[in-house]
Each structure stands twice: as C-alpha cells, then as structure tokens.
C-alpha cells in the first residue's frame, strides 16, 4: 500500500509524469520536423473522443482513448493525402485539417452534450489541481488518482518503445532513405509513435488540457535541441527539462494560488528563452561570442599574411593602417599580438611569417568554399 499523500503532492507527481511523457513524445516529433503535429493532434482527437462518448456513454470506457487515437491518425493521413496533391503546403494542409476536425468536435459537444459535464473549455484549459480527486482502486497500492495510473502507463509505453526501437529510430530520423534500404519500415514506426502521441494527448486532456500538452511537447524538446546534438542526451534532456518545468510551474502556481496549467506552460517557455539567449553552445550569446572570436582570428591571420608579404616591421604597420583603417598605435599593438602568438618573427626590423602563421592562414582559407586551401 502506498502511504497517504496529500492532494498537493499528488498534483505535483501527476504534473511531473504528464510533463515527462509529453516531453518524450514531442522529442521525436521535433526531430522529424513534425512539432506542430502535436498542436494538430491535441485538437483533432476531440471528434473521436466525443463520438466514442456518444456511442458508449461512459467517461471511463477505454474506447474513448482508442477512438481519439484513431481520430489523431486520421488527421495525419488526411494531411499527408492533402500534401501529396501538391496544391497546398504540408503546413497549410495540417492547419486546414486539424482546424476542421476540432471545429467538428466542438460542434458535436455544443449540439449533443449540452446537459453533460463535457465542455470544450475543460479540454482546452485542463485543471491539474482537480486530478487527484478522481481515484481508482489499484491492487497492492490502494486508491490512486486515475490520471496518475494512465499517464504512468503511457510513460512506460513511451520508454519501452524508445528502448526497443532505439536503433531504428536513430537511423529513421537521421537518414530516412537508408532506413528504407535496410527494410526498417520507417512509416510503420512513425505511425506507431503518432498513435502513442495521440493516446498521450487524449489521456492528458483531463489533467493538462490541450494548451499545456502543446507547450510540453514542443518547448522542452526544443530546449534540449539547443543543449546537445547527441540523440541519447537529447532524449534525457527532453525528459529532464520537462520535469523541471513542471516543478517550476507547480511552485509558481502555489505562490499565486491558481491552477498549475498556465504557470507550467509559462515555465516551459521561459526555460526555452533562457537557453536560447544564454545557453552554453547553441544560443544567441554563444553565437555572438563565437563570431567575435572568429572575427579576431580572421583579423590576426590576415595581418600575418600582410606582414609576410612585406620586408620590414614599419612597412607591415603602415599596411595595417591602410587595410584595417586603424591608427599607428593600434597597428603597433596588432604587430605585438602577432609576435606574442608567434605568427611572425622580427629580426633586426625584418619581418617573416612563421610556420604557425602559415598554418593559421591555411586554416582560415579552409572556411571558404572554393578556396585553393579548401580544394587541396
């Protein structure tokens, strides 16, 4: 039997399990350049969900999940068929299909479920704070929130799928044509994964709502993508960032005494922005610093080449003044930098480029396609 946990503790646990599951589901969508499919699936499953309820009149029926997953796959197939006509782009096709299916679902809710507690606002917004109240008896564990059981099962399914198909997924994502030649059936694997994403989107409706689902399926994987280029670490970081966002969202909601849904989505966006601006490798700051260092290195290599083409230090410094449009003092400091880095030597006022200087110039030339150094 599990120890008795407070509603707040269960809320945090469900938020973390939901976030990690959505983060893993969205990671492969992002690598396949299908990030906005999560937005489409979170809306397109609505008609399947409503139709299943109209047929079976039960909120706990497993047919709700199956019909909703089928509705999500129908959206994917319809989008592919529309894009194959080459009359509209794939992004436009996705927007047309999922908007149409969601509108149809909302219309069904408005017409057929007026007197039933099944409203579109609940699906869009969700409420994590209420999920611990709806419990079920689990043998050996006692009363456990249904959302926890469902999302834990989907998290286990996602982890199992990734572990079993890890090599296939890696080849399929980074070289789809090679995966076809190897007979790995990338289309089948993609449809199986999209089915799992659809199930996750439906199961998370009650806890998170479609807004948080989209945020957790896109923002944490996008953050992980900026932090690493290794596939395994990308998956670890997607799950880890998702968990951190759920923690931040929960504590922000506790401070503001509101539902954790909005703060968790906001935390996911804020974490992404922080990494985008000040991440260690792929960020605005790292790119700016890298451009500065590359610019300085190119400046030194050009100065070394100029110095190697003249006879004396004075000639080199005057050439620096003309080429870089700098003062004589700045030209003198540039020469001192070349001497300090041993890119040139100065003996009795005569200048000569060292082997290190020639290697530096050749290294810079390799960065330019079509150059002589790059073609050799």
What DSSP letter does each residue of 9-33 carry, written as one string? Answer: HHHHHHHHHHHHHHHHHHHHHHHTT
Predicted local confidence at residue 125, as pLDDT? 56
**Residue 310: Cβ within 10 Å count:** 15
Measured distance CA(205)–CA(207) in Å, rounded? 6
Percent share of the chain, pLDDT over 70: 88
pTM, entire model: 0.70
Cβ atoms 31, 258 nearer than 8 A: no
Cβ atoms 260, 267 nearer than 8 A: no
Kindly report which listed range (28-42, 195-209, 285-299) carries the lowest average pLDDT score.
285-299
What is the arithmetic mean of pLDDT over 47-72? 80
Instruction: Enter the DSSP assignment of 2.
Output: P
């Amino acid at each position: 039997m599990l120890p008795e946990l407070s509603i707040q503790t269960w809320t945090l646990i469900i938020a973390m399990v939901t976030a990690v599951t959505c983060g893993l589901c969205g990671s492969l969508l992002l690598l396949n350049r299908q990030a906005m499919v999560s937005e489409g699936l979170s809306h397109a499953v609505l008609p399947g969900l409503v139709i299943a309820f109209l047929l079976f009149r039960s909120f706990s029926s497993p047919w709700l999940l199956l019909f909703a997953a089928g509705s999500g796959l129908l959206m994917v197939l319809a989008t592919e068929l529309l894009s194959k006509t080459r009359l509209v782009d794939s992004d436009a096709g996705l927007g047309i299909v999922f908007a149409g299916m969601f509108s149809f679902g909302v219309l069904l809710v408005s017409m057929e479920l007026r007197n039933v507690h099944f409203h579109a606002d609940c699906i869009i917004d969700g409420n994590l704070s209420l999920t611990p109240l709806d419990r079920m008896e689990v043998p050996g564990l006692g009363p456990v929130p249904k959302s926890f059981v469902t999302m834990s099962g989907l998290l286990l399914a996602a982890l199992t799928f990734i572990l079993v198909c890890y090599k296939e997924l890696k080849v399929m994502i980074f070289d789809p044509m090679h995966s076809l030649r190897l007979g790995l059936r990338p289309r089948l694997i993609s449809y199986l994964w999209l089915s799992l994403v659809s199930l996750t989107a439906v199961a998370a409706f009650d806890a998170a709502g479609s807004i948080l689902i989209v945020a957790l399926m896109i923002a944490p994987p996008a953050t992980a993508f900026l932090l690493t280029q290794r596939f395994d670490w990308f998956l670890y970081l997607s799950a880890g960032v998702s968990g951190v966002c759920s923690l931040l969202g929960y504590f922000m909601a506790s401070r503001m005494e509101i539902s954790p849904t909005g703060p968790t989505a906001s935390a996911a966006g804020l974490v992404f922005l922080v990494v985008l601006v000040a991440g260690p490798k792929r960020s605005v700051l790292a790119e700016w610093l890298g451009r500065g260092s590359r610019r300085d290195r190119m400046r030194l290599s050009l100065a070394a080449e100029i110095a190697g083409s003249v006879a004396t230090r004075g000639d080199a410094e005057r050439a620096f003044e003309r080429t870089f449009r700098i003062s004589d003092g700045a030209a003198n400091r540039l020469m001192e930098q070349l001497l300090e880095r041993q890119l040139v030597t100065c003996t009795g006022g005569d200048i000569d480029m060292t082997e290190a200087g020639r290697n530096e110039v050749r290294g810079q030339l390799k960065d330019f396609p079509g150059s002589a150094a790059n073609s050799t």
